[in-house]
């Protein structure tokens, strides 16, 4: 099969030109990003120390949260925010509440549900312990679905599916809140 280089857009010169333009635009974008103050939230500083956001999050205490869903949610928050353990001298405290609801989505002819939506929502506030002022607050929501298996032998499967939906939703909530806190500290530092 012979190639026809007569078409202007297929010529080697145009291919080289496109490559040159793409390289130039890419380099320009990198220069523009570095000039706008962009820096990753968790990147190390030039001297090898942790970023401001990372060091401030490491000084954050997470208050106890009631109920089983609160325990699961707090454990995810601990994993996201303070993975190296509780700070010896916390400078901040995260207070959070969590609520869960279930709702049927797929209804059969007899009005029974075969699929459920698990919704978890949280309100939170970040408190500066030096002056007891709320420095950040907000709400977060997450939704997961699971199937209801009507066979008597699969009750365990339904319970496990619900627990999995709870785990995934509270994990999403914790990631969302951790990201918001990191962004707050990233702007402050």
Q: At what angle do helices 67-81 and 155-188 cross, to 10 degrees?
A: 40
Question: What's the token pair of residue 33?
Answer: 């990003």
The H-or-E segment that residue 142 falls in is strand 133-147
CA distance 18 to 26: 12
Query: Across the 189 residues of the chain, what is the mean pLDDT of every consecutive 10-residue run?
Result: 50 62 63 51 47 81 95 96 91 96 71 78 97 97 84 73 92 96 85
pLDDT at 32: 55
Report pLDDT for 162: 85
d(CA 80, CA 77): 5
Q: What is the Cα 100 distance to its own chain's centre?
A: 19
What pLDDT was estimated at residue 151?
Answer: 64
Instruction: Say how far apart CA 99 and CA 141 lie, in whole Å.
Output: 10
CA nearest neighbour of 70 among 149, 170, 137, 165: 170
DSSP state at residue 130: T
pLDDT at position 45 is 43
């Amino acid at each position: 099969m012979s190639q026809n280089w007569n078409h202007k857009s297929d010529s080697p010169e145009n291919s080289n030109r496109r490559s040159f333009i793409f390289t130039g635009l890419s380099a320009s974008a990198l220069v523009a990003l570095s000039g706008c103050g962009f820096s990753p939230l968790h990147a190390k500083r030039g001297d090898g120390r942790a970023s401001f956001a990372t060091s401030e999050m490491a000084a954050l205490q997470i208050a106890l949260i009631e109920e089983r869903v609160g325990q699961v949610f707090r454990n995810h928050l601990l994993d996201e925010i303070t993975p190296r353990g509780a700070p010896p001298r916390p400078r901040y405290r995260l207070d959070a509440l969590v609520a869960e609801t279930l709702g049927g989505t797929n209804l059969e002819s007899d009005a029974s549900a075969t699929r459920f939506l698990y919704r978890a929502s949280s309100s939170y506030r970040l408190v500066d312990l030096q002056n007891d002022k709320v420095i950040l607050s907000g709400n977060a929501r997450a939704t997961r679905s699971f199937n209801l298996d009507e066979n008597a032998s699969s009750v365990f499967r339904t319970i496990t599916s619900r627990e999995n939906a709870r785990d995934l939703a509270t994990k999403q909530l914790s990631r969302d809140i951790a990201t918001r806190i990191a962004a707050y500290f990233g702007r402050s530092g």
